[in-house]
Amino acid sequence: GQCCCAGSRIYVQSGIYDKFVSAFRERTQKNVVGDPFKADTFQGPQVSQLQFDRIMNYIQSGKEAGAKIEIGGSRKGDKGYFIEPTIFSNVTSDMKIMQEEIFGPVCAISKFEHEDEVIKAGNET
């Protein structure tokens, strides 16, 4: 069987933000995208063309809203419904990619200063 658990929003305190984004990007680059029946595969394809298109629309929305793509952001290969693991940084709370659940290999990272700020942001999504 397959497991699907994908946290799509990460809030990081500003003092460690750059270091976290760098480490997260480095770890994500090691993810193997491909045949879900192979032991070394971390991420398989999306379940359908419909879901693939939804995710690609979210990625486009993030780009258009001004979020920075740290890695990914495109289709993986030319067959199947594979999407590169995608990390957005410099994401603001009003962006669609932070407000809605993507259900795909996309992560939005937002910076905060104080605990009360991040609690408020989390409650608004």
**pLDDT per residue over 81-105, tens digit each?**
999 999 999 999 899 999 998 999 9
Tokens 């780009």 identify what position?
63
- Mean pLDDT confidence for 104-116: 95
Distance CA 92, CA 61 (A): 13
pLDDT for 2 equals 57
Question: Which residue, among 98, 118, 107, has the nearest Cα to 27 in the 3D structure?
Answer: 107
Distance CA 34, CA 82 (A): 7
pTM, to two decimals: 0.90
Q: Where are the strands (E) in the chain, listed by range?
A: 9-13, 68-71, 86-89, 106-112
pLDDT in tens, 6-47: 678 999 999 999 999 999 999 999 999 999 999 999 999 999
Indicate left, alpha or beta for 9 from its phi (over 0: left) and psi (-120 to 50: alpha).
Answer: beta
Distance CA 100, CA 29 (A): 24
pLDDT for 49 equals 96
